[in-house]
Amino acid sequence: MSTFPSRRLAALITGASLVVLAGCGSSSDSDSGGSTSPSPAAASAIPVVASTNVYGDIVGQIGGTKVDVTSIISDPDQDPHSYEANTQNQLALSKAKVVVENGGGYDDFVDRMLKSGNSSAEVVNAVKISGRTAPKGGELNEHVWYDFPTVSKIADSIAAALGKADPSDAAVFTKNAEAFKAKLQPLETKEAQIKKEHGGEAVAITEPVPLYMIEASGLKNATPAEFSEAIEEGSDVSPKVLQAALALFSGKKVEALVYNAQTSGPQTEKAEAAAKAAGIPVVPVTETLPGGKDYLGWMTSNVDALAGALDK
């Protein structure tokens, strides 16, 4: 994703008085408001900051009660690209011993704040771990948490970072990461089954968010690149490109629309309406964890919904 001004954070807040960090439990939301004192257990736990609750949840599964996690972006109703960093985030990052960020331009404010605070935290950068790069002439798809082999590597890196912060529990973190990775295997199996039954079929998207899942499932993305890129960057879609996208549905050229429900707008709503009018299933996805879901349950629902839509 390009870091266009309309989709990226404003310049860092500097010189302002820091406010007390909100939420100090084993997992907390840095923009939830209020202030609490850490429990004795939390006080001895490793302070970890994750840029989104996706990574916060994964850290929690690997670290258990031995980590105190703050997830910066966690509101399922908010477009993560429009998030504005604040002094609470700066304070949390200044105290963190481990930081998990997505990278790839998705959450650049984390690196800027770490640099400004001269942080010595262990940093886990998901995109760097993935090894993913931009295709020739295209843009990097930084939504690597939809890429399950990459998530497996991220789990190992999180365990290693936690082990450096607390060597006495390194073996525990490694064991928990192995257990987490084992639970990823059924998701890859489901993708392989979709590929076996529907490989080569075309689908449409509103944004590149689910593309790694789509590609691993053997499906073809038929969406005009200009459409999904403009939606992702918050730019207007030209009438010509919009009509080409809508024609995918009226002409029944795709089997499903995989729709980023977290960043809907007039043009994506037109795509959704066109798909429904043509009787084409719509599969909603999000960028952060929905309320009441953990990472594995969330991704299981996403893969199952994709399979169910194609089976129709």
Q: What is the mean pLDDT of the chain?
A: 88
253 and 139 in one domain? no
62 and 18 in one domain? yes
Per-residue confidence band for 233, with pLDDT thresholds at 50, 70 and 90:
confident
Instruction: Pick the last residue of a domain from 182, 202, 236.
Output: 182
Look at the chain and count its residues: 312
122 and 224 in one domain? no
172 and 60 in one domain? yes
- In angstroms, what CA-CA distances link 303 with 135, 205, 210? 25, 15, 10
Query: What's the total number of domains in the chain?
Result: 2
Strands in 282-285's sheet, in edge-to-edge order, are 220-221, 202-205, 257-260, 282-285
Per-residue pLDDT at 37: 35
243 and 139 in one domain? no
CA dihedral (44, 50, 52, 54) positive or negative: negative
Per-residue confidence band for 111, with pLDDT thresholds at 50, 70 and 90:
very high
Kindly report, residue by residue over 154-201, the tens digit of the pLDDT. 999 999 999 999 999 999 999 999 999 999 999 999 999 999 999 999
**Cβ(67)–Cβ(60) below 8 Å:** yes
Instruction: Pick the last residue of a domain from 182, 207, 232.
Output: 182
Per-residue pLDDT at 77: 74
Instruction: Pick the last residue of a domain from 163, 182, 201.
Output: 182
The partner residues of 312 in beta bridges, in order of sequence, read none
Q: Return d(Cα 33, Cα 20) in angstroms, integer.
A: 10
Chain centroid to CA 178: 21
**Cβ(23)–Cβ(32) below 8 Å:** yes
Per-residue confidence band for 21, with pLDDT thresholds at 50, 70 and 90:
very low
Per-residue confidence band for 264, with pLDDT thresholds at 50, 70 and 90:
confident
239 and 98 in one domain? no
Domain encompassing residue 243: 187-311
Helices (H) and strands (E) in the chain, counts: 12, 9
Rounded to two decimals, what is the model's pTM?
0.86
233 and 156 in one domain? no
Per-residue pLDDT at 43: 59
pLDDT exceeds cutoff 70 at 41:
no
Q: Which residue has the higher pLDDT, 136 or 258?
A: 258
Residue of 295, 303, 293, 297 lying closest to 188 (CA atoms)? 303
Q: Return d(Cα 308, Cα 311) in angstroms, integer.
A: 5
What the block records as the tokens of 232 is: 């992702």
Give the amino acid at 207.
E
pLDDT exceeds cutoff 50 at 9:
no
249 and 262 in one domain? yes
Query: What is the rounded average pLDDT of the residues 28-56?
Result: 67
280 and 177 in one domain? no
Q: Return d(Cα 103, Cα 125) in angstroms, integer.
A: 6
**Cβ(110)–Cβ(100) below 8 Å:** no
Q: Cα(first)–Cα(last) distance of the chain, in Å?
A: 32
Per-residue pLDDT at 48: 98
248 and 143 in one domain? no
The CATH number assigned to the domain holding 269 equals 3.40.50.1980
pLDDT exceeds cutoff 90 at 286:
yes
Per-residue pLDDT at 39: 40
147 and 256 in one domain? no
Q: Return d(Cα 55, Cα 99) in angstroms, integer.
A: 10
Q: Which residue has the higher pLDDT, 304 or 36?
A: 304
H/E run at residue 197: helix 170-198
pLDDT exceeds cutoff 70 at 61:
yes
Q: Taking each helix axis from N to C terminus, what angle separates 295-311 and 53-63, rounded to the nearest 10 degrees?
A: 120
Per-residue confidence band for 302, with pLDDT thresholds at 50, 70 and 90:
very high
pLDDT exceeds cutoff 90 at 78:
no
Per-residue confidence band for 10, with pLDDT thresholds at 50, 70 and 90:
very low
Largest CA-CA distance found in the chain, in angstroms, rounded = 61
H helices of 64-169, in order, are 87-95, 108-116, 126-130, 148-165
Per-residue pLDDT at 28: 53
Q: Return d(Cα 97, Cα 47) in angstroms, integer.
A: 6
Per-residue pLDDT at 12: 36
120 and 56 in one domain? yes
Please work out, in degrees rounded to the nearest 5, the angle formed at the alpha carbon of residue 262 by the alpha carbons of 258 and 265: 85
